[in-house]
Chains A and B, each alone.
Chain A
Amino acid sequence: MISAWVVLIASLSYLALLFLLAWLAERGTIPLAVARHPITYTLSLGVYATSWSYYGSVGLAQDGGFLFLTIYIGLTVAMGLTPVLLQPIFRLVRDYQLSSLADLFAFRYRKTSVGPWVTAAMLMGSIPYLSLQIRAGTQSVQMLTHDIPTDTLALAFCTVLTVFAVLFGARHLTPRDQHEGLVVAIAFESAVKLIALLSVGLFAIVGVFGGFAEFDQWIDATPEAIDALYDPVKDGSWLSMMVLSFCAAFLLPRQFHMMFTENHSSRSLRVASWAFPLYLLLLNLPIIPILWAGQTVAPGISADLYVMAVSMVAENSWLPLFALIGGMSAASAMMIVATLSLSSMVLNHWIAPAGMTVPQAQHDFYRALLWSKRVSIVFIILCAYGFFKVIQDNAGLAQMGLISFVAVAQLLPGMVGLLFWGRATSNGFLLGLAGGFLMWFVILIMPLLVNSDILDQQIDLSAIFGAEGSDIWAVATFWTLTTNAILLVLGSYATRPSNEEVEAAELCVHQGTRPLTGTVLALSPYQFSQQLEEVMGPSAAEKEVDNALQELKLDWQESRPAELRRLREHIELNLSGLLGPTLARLIVNDRLRLHKETHAALSDSFKRLEMRLENSRNRLRGAERELDEMRRYHRDVLQELPIGVCSLDTNNTIVIWNTTMAQLSGIAAGDALGQSIEALRPPWGKLLFDFAKGDTNHLLKQRVRGDNGSHSYNFHKSSIQTSAITPEARNGLVILLEDRTNIDLLEAELAHSERLASIGRFAAGVAHEIGNPLTGIDSLAQNLAHENDPDIVLQTGDNIIKQTRRINEIVKSLLAFSRREAPSEGSRDLFELAHCITEAIDLIKLDPSTHRIRFSYDCLPTLFVHADRQKILQMIVNLLSNASAASSDNSDVDVRAHGMGSSCIIEVIDQGSGIENDVQTSIFEPFYTTKAVGKGTGLGLSLVHSIVEEHAGRITLDSSPGNGSCFRITLPGAVLINTKEHNAT
């Protein structure tokens, strides 16, 4: 016998150690890498093994032999189905910030009554289990010390656990109800109970039987012991027990909480799929030796107490105390996690919706939530204590555990509908749940109440279903689940799912994306905060908006409609973690209203679709996978295209902004996507908006001074008109941006080379033109030496000056023609076209081969053009050069120019051989020439075409073989000006 004080101090010290561990984990002293390690997570799932497993498994093995293992084999099967069963649930819980079973069902079935009913069902199912822990805890302490009455022990046990449940899970509010400290403490408890049970099992073999060899001898000598283990399996209801434990693996509130709510990664779940069954296997290995040892040393007592009885055979007192600590670990872990999980449901689905009717603005929102949770914890433990008082010794530990298992199994049909059957409706679910629980109450609870003299024997209806003896679990499982499933199917087909249910079914069954309809009415995060104030109070509203902004990496100045839509959704997710999905949706729908008529930003829809496809890549197969590969290929092509691509939806919001566009503009894709085009930073916002709104589809050689200096760009656009079956929101505009800075440089270089080549052709003419005046100057200078008449000397001087000027003009025009011009200059000014034409004719006449041609022109001296004079000069020179090459001797080449509105038309007409029709389409292509090899570069007409395009003009050719050619150029920017006035200005 151990003193009550020793037990009390040991128990409190152990609980204090647990709290210390939890505190250290929350402070970060125990690193996150340890707290979130898959092994820690796996051990924390050991909360499944409660007092029932610790003490009750021996009792169940006594009554049902190896049937006790079905409680774990069913769970092992459930863990084996992790990829298709548990991972989808985890994804839903993580993606939509759901913190309990009630949250999950409320999220899927989208009816305000679903959450409260699931909460009620879970409370009904868990209360017997909680009272089981109280009973096991008090029984084990009483075995060690008979000093304390049962009621006092039970009350003390409940009080201590209430305090610890509050300390562990309701000290402060955490988003999504995640507590690293709790996980570490529960994992530690799992390790303690495993070591304790293994120690007792080892003692049973070594201490009671005398060693492993003696243990084997005892088995050989007692074959009926083996038969007693196997016989119940041959006749018993192992399948129904396995079904129950399969459901319990993920539908018990505490399992759901540790498995999904406290989980941070799918990797942990993957590891736990095999590691957790392995833990349970180790935990159950000592059960059979303890059972046989208990039957040997304490045959008169309940097998539920064999763990303590066998440990007390030890001569020292540490083993029974350690066994007690192990049992306390099992009970306390279960009670703390279960009450936290249930309190979260009670808070989210009972208290908070009721509190919504009370104006919250004056209250501290978080404080009210925290205290509500604490009150819920006290309420739940009081209920468990009440059930313990009512039932007392009228049921074994295993019986009470199985009552809970049958209760939670009632969520299985609903869960199947949630994950696999999109047609399931909330009405069907609620009907099935009600029917299943009614059968549960009749078959399992009524007999208990009759045994406790609370109900009259005559009211007990359980006999109708043949629910007697060891088959009771098979009968209860069959009738409750069958009734539940049939009602779910009938109820679902009898009712029509709401639009919200259809949307939620798509998210749960097909893991689709939530369609975004409408844009937020609020224009800034400040307005979000103001609108939430009325429900949550100013500080809580501001904190929630600020948290969401930080998590999305946005700031308070955010105004992009797509980002505000994301902010709204993120606030709903965060509130869902605090208040459950139903209430979060109600608050957000009520306070942060949407413009239902407007379409969501296409960029946001694309982003979501992209994220969803990225996440679901491993699940795609066949044609879906190939389509996804094709989609990725096209996306990458678009992204890596060496030309800037930007697409806009009908609201002028940017949907696509590829890598080249980001490089050219200096605006990152993250900053541009979802942004209105005109809100882009200068100069791109105005430039792209004006171009998008303008009439012209092409804008060529636009100089833009950006972050990386001055560049020349071509802009192209095209409207996107999708087919009629596609939503209107998919229409829009695509803009291409082409950096032609390098091309401009090359073109300038080419033009310069072409001019130099022309000068080469003019060389003989230049020599002749300069030679004549030089000869004249030479003669005049020689005459001067012999002339004394001052008048003649002056006249001769004038003549020399005239000849010099003539030379100077030729040299100047050649220099001007050959000048290298930087492409960035784009120097356009108003000049007299007639003067430019005469200059061109003068230049072309320098070429000796043109002396056989008569050049003439017809142009009003009042016709002025706003253009690049040097380029227009080169254009006319090139055309005249071509015309003279094609003309026969003594033929005419005319240049005519006249104004037409704001344009001028320049025609270069020859009487040469003309151009064949099939050649006409190619003559403007670079390096295309009809001349003999070595006679032409093929660049002349190409440069003409380029110059005309650069001036937004048009060039046409009117020619036929034998009838000469006429190149007609239309240039904008013409104006008629009086020459005198122009000279005056």
Chain B
Amino acid sequence: MSQAPKSNDPRVPVDRLVMLVLLAALLFASPLFDWVLRERPSWYAPFVLWAILIAAIFALSRAINRP
């Protein structure tokens, strides 16, 4: 019997990638919050945190949908 070609697609399944990102968020959330809520932080610190979150989403979106 002839052998079917095997998939060479190296992409990680979407749900696993999302879980990976959530795990990373869990690990890094605490130090980030500590940084934001440190003694006398700047007024824009929460916005920086928010921007990091957006950048992570952007990277996730690119990783999932790269050709």
Contacts and interface: CB of A to CB of B under 8 A. Distances in A.
Contact of A234 (B37, B40, B61): B37
Interface residues of A, number: 38
Contacts of B54: 76, 274, 277-278, 281
B23 interface: no
A82 B53 contact: no
A905 to B, nearest CB: 43
A73 interface: yes
Interface residues of B, number: 31
A621 interface: yes
A206 B29 CA distance: 35
Interface in A54-92: 66, 69, 72-73, 76-77, 79-84
Contacts of B47: 281, 284-285
Contacts of A629: 4-7
Contacts of A634: 4
In this complex, the member of B7, B41, B43 whose beta carbon has the largest number of chain A beta carbons within 10 angstroms is B43
Given A84-B14, A233-B37, A72 B6 contact: no
B13 to A, nearest CB: 4
A454 interface: no
B21 A80 contact: yes
Contacts of B43: 219, 226, 229, 288
B56 interface: yes
B50 A80 contact: no
A274 B37 contact: no
B30 interface: no
The residue in B18, B41, B50 that gathers the most chain A C-beta atoms within 10 A of its C-beta is: B50
Contacts of A83: 14-15, 17-18, 60, 64
Nearest to A66: B46
Contacts of A318: none
Contacts of B20: none
A270 B67 CA distance: 14
Interface in A586-641: 618-619, 621, 625-626, 629-630, 633-634
Nearest to A633: B4
Nearest to B50: A281
A230 interface: yes
A548 B26 CA distance: 49
A340 B50 CA distance: 32
B57 A80 contact: yes
Contact of B61 (A82, A226, A630): A82
A76 B7 contact: no
Select the residue from B15, B46, B51 with max chain A CB neighbours within 10 A: B46
Contacts of B51: 281
A878 interface: no
Nearest to A227: B40
A831 B9 CA distance: 68
A300 interface: no
Nearest to B55: A274
A647 interface: no
Contacts of A66: 46
Interface in A629-682: 629-630, 633-634
A76 B57 contact: yes
Nearest to B7: A629
Nearest to B56: A80
Given A66-B46, A73-B53, A618 B58 contact: no
Given A66-B46, A226-B41, A281-B51, A618 B14 contact: yes
Given A66-B46, A230-B41, 9 more contacts: A77-B53, A80-B56, A80-B57, A83-B60, A270-B61, A285-B47, A618-B11, A618-B14, A626-B6
Q: Nearest 7 CB-CB pairs, A to B?
A: A633-B4, A274-B58, A80-B57, A621-B13, A83-B14, A274-B57, A630-B4
6 contacts: A79-B57, A83-B14, A229-B43, A270-B61, A274-B57, A629-B7
Interface of A: 66, 69, 72-73, 76-77, 79-84, 219, 223, 226, 229-230, 233-234, 270-271, 273-274, 277-278, 281, 284-285, 288, 618-619, 621, 625-626, 629-630, 633-634
